[in-house]
């Protein structure tokens, strides 16, 4: 039975990041299956995707927190406009991402009369906000009929403060977009190995450590090119670092469209994600693996969700440029190892294909609609939630 679904998120185009990619892929896959899906988000001022499937209310502001830039919606009458939108679109199910984040997600929990699915994406080095605001947030959490988390790391962060079942339903990867065999970008197609970074230039992404590691690689005489995709508040700083021994070796590509991003993975010989912490999953790792590119990443709990060191790539301690340089150097010198790890990455990525994940999401939506509605503010989560198991595990 076709459903009418509202996906509420403050992170959406033109904002880049894992939540944006998750929402986009989920909405597309659900529409392909015949469902009516509207993405509810805020206005960013420029660079917005204009679509009949995207409804924007309020205005986005960016607030630095947890080593990253966080999107928050401001405006007058947001709750009234949300309520009207849900009624106008005749919504059956509301899916809220980062549901305990101010302001749009919390308002959706407050005004909705439909069943609610909430997906938790984040982890943090500090529990202070939840500790301080747990009592105020608890009624909102109880309004979630089915709580999901993209990884065990995200689940553990929520479970430290709120009780109840949380199902693990991971991020996915689009195997039609990210796949081996795509044509490399001509300007990067020569005999120089390419190291690729994709992500926001936020402190927690560890880009300064990658520049330092590459400076050491250059001093050792290694042949390589670093391609940096993304933008953010650290851009000027890292651009200044790309001097001296790195002059001419680093290419800052800025923000890249979804259409062109797979070509950058296709042009990479190694993908590197040197994040310092705060990563609950690692969508970019999956995109690289699906493209057949070996990975060098920091050893974070969220990254261990998809990456096994020595199998699809190598892991190193966070904030350790020397260890990062050593791992990159090993793969630069061993094309046979790069090829073997890339092949294993392709097989791992297949377990996270979006159709597998959206099939489970459809089951969750239909299960909520087949039960009698819960009393307002009580939630209606099951006593135990089954966990998603990637195909082939």
Cis preceding linkage at 334, omega within 30: no
Please give the Cα distance from 164 to 180 (Å, whole number): 41
Q: What is the CATH number of domain 4-172+353-369?
A: 3.40.50.2000
Q: What percent of the chain lies above the pLDDT cut of 70?
A: 93
Which of helix, strand or coil describes residue 87? Answer: helix
Helical H runs in the chain?
A: 18-32, 78-88, 104-111, 128-142, 152-159, 207-219, 235-241, 261-266, 283-290, 301-304, 321-333, 335-350, 354-369
pLDDT of residue 67: 62
What's the whole-number mean pLDDT along residues 306-321?
A: 97
Decide if 323 contacts 300 (C-beta within 8 A).
no
Label residue 16 by pLDDT band (50, 70, 90): confident
pLDDT of residue 389: 59
How many helices (H) and strands (E) the chain has is answered by: 13, 14
Q: What is the pLDDT of residues 91-140, one digit of tens each?
A: 999 999 999 999 999 999 999 999 999 999 987 756 777 788 899 999 99
pLDDT at residue 371 is higher than 90: no
b/e sequence 12-48, b meaning 16+ C-beta within 10 Å? bbebbbbbbbbbbbbbebbeeeebbbbbbbbebeeeb
CATH topology of domain 186-350: Rossmann fold (3.40.50)
Cα Rg of the chain, angstroms: 21
pLDDT at residue 56 is higher than 50: yes
Query: H or E element: which one contains 225?
Result: strand 225-229
pLDDT at residue 247 is higher than 80: yes
CA end-to-end span of the chain: 30
- Which regions of the chain carry the CATH code 3.40.50.2000? 4-172+353-369, 186-350
pTM of the model: 0.86
What's the whole-number mean pLDDT along residues 28-56?
A: 92
pLDDT of residue 375: 44
Label residue 280 by pLDDT band (50, 70, 90): confident
- Calculate the CA 388 to chain-centre distance: 18
pLDDT at residue 227 is higher than 50: yes
Strand-pair partners of 196: 227, 271
Decide if 223 contacts 331 (C-beta within 8 A).
no
pLDDT of residue 64: 79
Q: What is the mean pLDDT of the chain?
A: 91
pLDDT of residue 370: 87
Please give the Cα distance from 380 to 114 (Å, whole number): 12
pLDDT of residue 310: 97
């Amino acid at each position: 039975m076709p459903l009418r679904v509202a996906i509420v998120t403050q992170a959406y185009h033109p904002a880049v990041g894992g939540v944006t990619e998750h929402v986009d892929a989920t909405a597309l896959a659900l529409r392909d299956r015949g469902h009516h899906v509207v993405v509810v988000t805020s206005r960013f001022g420029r660079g917005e995707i204009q679509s009949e499937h995207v409804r924007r209310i309020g205005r986005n502001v960016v607030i630095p927190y947890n080593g990253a830039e966080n999107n928050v919606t401001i405006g007058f009458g947001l709750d009234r406009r949300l309520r009207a939108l849900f009624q106008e679109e005749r919504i059956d199910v509301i899916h809220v991402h980062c549901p305990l984040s101010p302001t749009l997600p919390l308002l959706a929990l407050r005004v909705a009369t439909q069943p609610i699915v909430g997906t938790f994406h984040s982890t943090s080095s500090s529990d202070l906000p939840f500790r301080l605001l747990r009592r105020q947030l608890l009624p909102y959490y109880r309004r979630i009929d089915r709580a999901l988390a993209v990884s065990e790391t995200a689940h553990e962060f929520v479970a430290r403060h709120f009780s109840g079942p949380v199902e693990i339903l991971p991020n996915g990867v689009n195997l039609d977009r990210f796949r081996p065999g795509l044509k490399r970008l001509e300007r990067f197609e020569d005999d120089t190995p390419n190291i690729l970074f994709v992500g926001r230039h936020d402190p927690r992404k560890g880009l300064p450590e990658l520049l330092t590691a590459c400076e050491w690689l250059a001093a050792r005489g290694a042949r390589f090119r670093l391609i940096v995709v993304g933008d953010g508040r650290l851009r000027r700083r890292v651009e200044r670092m790309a001097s001296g021994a790195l002059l001419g070796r680093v290419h800052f590509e800025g923000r890249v469209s979804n259409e062109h991003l797979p070509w950058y993975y296709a042009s990479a010989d190694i993908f590197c994600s040197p994040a310092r912490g705060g990563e609950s999953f690692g969508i970019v790792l999956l995109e690289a693996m699906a493209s057949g590119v070996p990975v060098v990443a920091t050893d974070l709990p969220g990254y261990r969700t998809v990456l096994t060191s020595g199998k699809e790539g190598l892991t190193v301690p966070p904030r350790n440029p020397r260890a990062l340089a050593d791992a990159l150097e090993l793969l630069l010198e061993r094309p046979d190892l790069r090829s073997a790890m890339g092949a294993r990455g392709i097989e791992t990525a297949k377990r996270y294909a979006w159709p597998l994940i959206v099939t489970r999401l459809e089951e969750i939506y239909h299960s909520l609609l087949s039960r009698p509605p819960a009393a307002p503010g009580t939630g209606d989560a099951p006593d135990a939630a089954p966990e998603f198991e990637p195909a082939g595990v």
